[in-house]
């Protein structure tokens, strides 16, 4: 009799451990997703912080290019206003496009192009662009792992119990799908 009680206890303990394991696994995985989201957020914020500085520098050389300057300012405002991550990322993409036209504009203004401050900001912003891309990649990786454990057996069983749903991937804007260029 005592033997059966021990076996029963062992089985119950095992089941409890499995339940705790899967609960923790889902928590860890969704924390990872949240963390990678905040990484994207940090980079977007950094980019937005650099923009006023850039605008000031550009204004010094190309005052009458109001349209492009306004575009950048608006995109920055939209980014700061955005609440959830998907609208933030979307605003970030818009800002990215607007910044590209600023850097293209600089081709017409040799003095601006040679400005040290401008060059520095350009480098910083392109570095941030890389970081945003990598942070998004990691976010999607984290989502993939989470979704895999939500939808494969036996995770799918526990996902139902803890009512966890697969999460959405971040969509990549068409402009960002281009192949990275290689410098020599």
Partner 1 sequence: MQQRLSFEDEITKNKIKSFLLIIIIFAFFVLLGYVISFVFDPSYFFFIMVISIIFSLSYVLVSYYYSHNIAIASVGAKPASPIKHRNFFHAVENMVLASGLPMPKLYVMESNEINAFASGRNPRNAVICITTGALNKLNKQELEGVIAHEMSHIANYDIRFMTLTTVLIGMISIISQIFLRNLWFASRDREERENAIFFLIAIIVAILAPIAAQLVSLAISRKREFSADASAVKFTRYSPGLISALQKIKNEHLSPEQTNKEKITYPKALAPLFISDPFKKKIQNLFSTHPPIEERINVLKKM
Work out the number of other CB atoms within 10 angstroms of the CB of residue 116: 8
When asked if residue 127 is in the footprint of partner 1 (CB under 8 A), the reply is yes
Q: Is the peptide bond before 154 cis (omega within 30 degrees of 0)?
A: yes
> Which residue in the block uniquely carries the two structure tokens 């402009």?
175
Q: Is 180 in the site for partner 1 (CB under 8 A)?
A: yes
Q: From CA 122, how far away is CA 164, in angstroms rounded?
A: 42
Q: Binding of partner 1 at residue 134 (CB under 8 A)?
A: yes
* Residue 44 lies near partner 1 (rule: CB under 8 A): no
SS3 62: coil
The stretch among 8-16, 71-79, 104-112, 131-139 that binds partner 1 (CB under 8 A) is 131-139
With CB under 8 A as the contact rule, the residue among 3, 4, 153, 184 that binds partner 1 is: 184
Report if residue 36 touches partner 1, rule: CB under 8 A.
yes
The two three-digit tokens of residue 111, written as one number: 């003095």
**Binding window for partner 1 (CB under 8 A); candidates: 10-18, 68-76, 88-96, 129-137:** 129-137
Q: How far is the CB of 161 from partner 1 (least distance, A)?
A: 27
Comparing CA positions, the residue from 44, 127, 31 lying closest to residue 84 is: 44
Say how far apart CA 123 and CA 114 lie, in whole Å: 13
> What residues line the site for partner 1 (CB under 8 A)?
32, 35-36, 39, 43, 127, 130-131, 134-135, 137-138, 141-142, 180, 182-184
């Amino acid at each position: 009799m005592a033997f059966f009680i021990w076996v029963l206890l062992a089985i119950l303990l095992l089941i409890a451990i499995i339940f705790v394991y899967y609960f923790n696994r889902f928590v860890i995985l969704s924390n990872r997703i949240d963390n990678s989201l905040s990484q994207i957020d940090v980079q977007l914020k950094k980019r937005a912080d650099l923009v006023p500085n850039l605008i000031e520098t550009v204004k010094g050389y190309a005052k009458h290019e109001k349209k492009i300057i306004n575009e950048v300012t608006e995109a920055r405002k939209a980014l700061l206003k955005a609440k959830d991550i998907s609208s933030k990322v979307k605003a970030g993409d818009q800002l990215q496009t607007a910044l590209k036209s600023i850097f293209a504009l600089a081709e017409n203004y040799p003095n601006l192009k040679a400005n040290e401050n401008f060059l520095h900001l350009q480098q910083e912003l392109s570095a941030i662009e890389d970081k945003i891309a990598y942070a998004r990649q990691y976010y999607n990786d984290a989502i993939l792992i989470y979704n895999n454990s939500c939808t494969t057996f036996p995770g799918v069983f526990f996902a139902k119990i803890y009512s966890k749903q697969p999460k959405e991937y971040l969509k990549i804007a068409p402009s960002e799908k281009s192949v990275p260029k290689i410098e020599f």
